[in-house]
Amino acid sequence: MKIATYNVNGVNGRLPVLLEWLAEAGPDVVCLQELKAPQEKFPAAALRDAGYEAVWLGQKSWNGVAILARGESPAETRRGLPGEPDPGQSRYIEATVNGILIGCLYLPTGNPAPGPKFDHKLAWFEAFIGYAASLLARGVPVVLAGDYNVMPTDLIGPADARCLGAGGSRGVAASTAPHDDVEAPAGSGVQGVVAAQGVSAPAQGGSLAVTLDCGQ
């Protein structure tokens, strides 16, 4: 199964680019962030015509997350992160696809720091860490993918030539899937990360897309 995460930065404005990338890359599952569209304006019909069913959590002008699946409907399991500090922001959605629990997230930027926005980011992190721990405890394959708005090393920062694209967004995907052949990138500080098979910036997309292969 090929899983991709893509900060689309406006799903309707970038729809032609998104559809072109889906046709070229052919991911089985896609996590989208920054839809910047209310629930009723999500382009479900256009994506369905391209072979993808979707679940999404929209928000006008800001945030918004979605999970796309090729050839099947994602089974939604959760909207919103338990304990998140501002439930009014659309930053987390979750669904199962082909036996894998997929969580799509858009973590707050926290700018400027220090300040209330950075405090909000840290509070969101704490809620996310607690919930992720509960998912790990289930012992089922889980992928938590999205825009974490974190650059712990240059591996996913602008200094990495693979990530140089207009917009400079960070697309990060982590997995807790219990596969024996899954290893975390050196220095990532994360256990159980599915190794990225390809990193690319869709043409004119302005955002980074990270593609993962779960070996299924």
The one-digit pLDDT tens for each residue of the chain (216 residues) are 899 999 999 999 999 999 999 999 999 999 999 999 999 999 999 999 999 999 999 999 999 999 999 999 999 999 999 998 998 999 999 999 999 999 999 999 998 889 999 999 999 999 999 999 999 999 889 999 999 998 666 554 444 433 333 233 344 334 333 333 333 333 333 333 333 333 333 444 444 455 555 444
Q: Which residue in 6, 52, 92, 106 is the catalytic one?
A: 106
Q: Which residue in 6, 52, 147, 148 is the catalytic one?
A: 147
CA of 211: how far to CAs of 129, 172, 180, in Å? 23, 10, 20
Q: Give the residue among 142, 136, 160 at the shortest CA–CA distance from 210.
A: 160
DSSP labels, 120-163: HHHHHHHHHHHHHHHHHHHTS-EEEEEE----SSGGGSTTSGGG
Other CB atoms within a 10 A radius of the CB of residue 152 amount to: 13
Contacts of 78 (CB under 8 A, 6+ apart): 92, 93, 94, 103
Range of the domain at 162: 2-213
CATH (domain of 165): 3.60.10.10
**131 carries an active-site annotation:** no
| Structure tokens that stand for 30 in this block | 């896609």
Total domain count, the chain: 1
**213 carries an active-site annotation:** no
Q: Whole-model pTM above 0.75?
A: yes
